[in-house]
Structure 1
Amino acid sequence: MAQKGKSQLDKAKTKIFFEKQDGALCGQHCLNNALQSSLFSAVDLSEIARQLDEKERQTMAERGTDTKEYREFIANPSSNFDDSGYFSVQVLAEALGNMNLELVSFESDDSRSVKARNAPLEERLFVCHMEDHWFSMRKFGQQWVNLNSTLTGPELLTETYFKMLLSTLQTEGGRLFIVFGELPFSDADEAFTNLRRTDDGHYVDEGVGHRLGSDQLDEATAMERGLRLSMAKTPAESVRAQRAAFLSRFVAPASGNASSPTSENEADKNAKT
């Protein structure tokens, strides 16, 4: 039964569009993974950034081109993009706006954000920023998936781990945004209509109403390891530690070991922008 459940999930995962990290183009990958298509190129986002810069320049020029603020603005590099391929939140918001989608801070007073803070599992798409790295997490059917481009592929999240990851990002200095509006439909939406991973490590097909087994460690073991690993000193290390705890659920530990070295090393490698 466990193998049957895993096969179903593996098949469903192939329906998820996923761009891996290329240079510092995490903003581009974040948007394309979130929208499940290669909708935006680096050129597209650079043009959006240039237009935002020009609008800001015009606004400042209206106050006078001989002011100190205007001269400093002209002299300094753009705050919306740089030569490495990094893009600002304003660029991502503008790009999503072109798709009739709205990017709103998770911490804002917007009534939708208040609702999301009380029930994050009811949302469909989060955009996350931490230490100059953008990534997205999207719900397909009832299954949350981490679409971080630094990973080797889409990462299926249990509801408990998803909420823990949101909390970790907030407490370790990350920024969270919610995307509101009608998301483009994808094949993954259909693939995960009923299929999802549960907190106790089982695979559930809600369409037929039964569990399909498990090949993971139990949730209590994973959470215990997470507490030990969360002693990391920097925000990035903390997120990597939380992810390593989750990955450890897929690898049985050797006798006497607190966690899987393979999982932790892979997490360190994949979490770097």
Structure 2
Amino acid sequence: MESSSNGGMLYHEVQEAKLCAVHCVNTVLQGPFFSEFDLAALASDLDRRERQMMIQGNVGDASGDFASQESHNVSLGGDFSIQVLQKALEVWDLQVIPLDSPVAEPAQVDPELEKAFICHLQDHWFSIRKINGEWYNFDSLYPAPEHLSKFYLSAYLDSLKGAGWSIFLVRGNFPTECPLSSSEASNGYGQWLTPEDCVRILKACNSKGESSHTVAPTRRQPSDQFASLSEAELLAMEDEDLKAAIAASLMDSTPTNPNSESQIPSTEKTS
């Protein structure tokens, strides 16, 4: 049985500016381990290594694109590339693996046996993490983590893939305790919550007539479509029918607004 980490508390970060890469990494690690300055330093190091390789290998126009001072791993708006997130998690000896790669095939069949996923589309990153045996969506656009049943997890990941999200599996020895004190853990957007706190916060938003998901309509998640259904009702639906229904709900919810936050270059970058 999985031991309780961080005293049973969940670490969540709410969206600050365009720092969803920071929020994503920290919620995977379950603590405020990285700041935007840490990720910027990793991006700078990656840029330096890339330029050095291009120049040494005399590949293409070495004096052009890669030799320029423009970063390929972080934009002026603070958008970080997938390579930066990979480097950050490698610090903790964690691997980031594309879910569609052969090595991740077991996770495609039984995702509930894994511990974490990170998801990306256009200008947004978020994590899905198993804490104390339960799955939660740690999207920084939500006011609190959203519980995901094991049954729903597979359908949710399938619906994200169908909507064009890039999904990465995270494997390795995750930290079980945040080494920082509660005072040091306060970074302005991080918070420690019990599972009961999460339910209360999400319900409070609904009771006020607000969406529990602080996200624009063009960034609506597939779980919104089924927020009013109980666990029993979801379980009563055939698995394939559920997946089809979620996929259909995404037709109008996939991010398509080119002006929502910032434009993303051809490499995957984050807000």
TM-score over 0.5 (shorter chain)? yes
1:244 aligns with one of 212, 218, 224: 224
1:49 aligns with one of 43, 48, 60: 43
1:185 aligns with one of 176, 189, 195: 176
8 Å contact kept, 1:136–1:147: yes
Distance 1:14 1:245, change over 3 A: farther
The residue that corresponds to 2:133 in the other structure is 142
Q: What are the ranges of 5 or more consecutive residues in structure 2 without an aligned counterpart?
A: 1-5, 179-193, 197-202, 204-215, 231-252, 255-259, 262-271
1:88 aligns with one of 78, 81, 96: 81
- Structure 1 residue runs of 4+, over 3 Å off? 236-239
Aligned partners of 1:186 and 1:237: how far apart in 2? Answer: 36
Aligned partners of 1:171 and 1:177: how far apart in 2? Answer: 14
1:176 aligns with one of 146, 167, 175: 167
The residue that corresponds to 2:99 in the other structure is 106
The residue that corresponds to 1:220 in the other structure is none
The residue that corresponds to 2:209 in the other structure is none
The residue that corresponds to 1:120 in the other structure is 111
8 Å contact kept, 2:118–2:170: yes
Aligned partners of 1:238 and 1:157: how far apart in 2? Answer: 22
3-state SS in 2 of match to 1:39 = coil
Deviations 1:64-121 (A, max 9, x none): 38x52441223473221112221111000001101111111111122xx011111111
* TM-score for the superposition, normalised by structure 2: 0.65
Report the RMSD for the aligned CA atoms in angstroms: 3.0
Aligned partners of 1:136 and 1:94: how far apart in 2? Answer: 16
Shift of 1:244: 1.4
Query: Which deviates more from structure 2 when the two are superposed, residues 154-163 or residues 33-42?
Result: 154-163
Aligned partners of 1:118 and 1:239: how far apart in 2? Answer: 27
* TM-score for the superposition, normalised by structure 1: 0.64
Distance 1:87 1:50, change over 3 A: same
3-state SS in 1 of match to 2:101 = coil
Distance 1:239 1:159, change over 3 A: farther
Query: Which deviates more from structure 2 when the two are superposed, residues 78-87 or residues 167-176?
Result: 78-87
Distance 1:180 1:151, change over 3 A: same
2:120 aligns with one of 126, 129, 141: 129
Distance 1:69 1:172, change over 3 A: farther
Residue pairs, 1:3-82, within 5 angstroms: 15-64=9-58, 67-75=60-68, 77-82=70-75
Report the count of equivalent residues.
Answer: 196
3-state SS in 2 of match to 1:249 = coil
Identical-residue share of aligned pairs (%): 33
Shift of 1:159: 2.0
Residue pairs, 1:143-222, within 5 angstroms: 143-186=134-177
8 Å contact kept, 1:135–1:147: yes
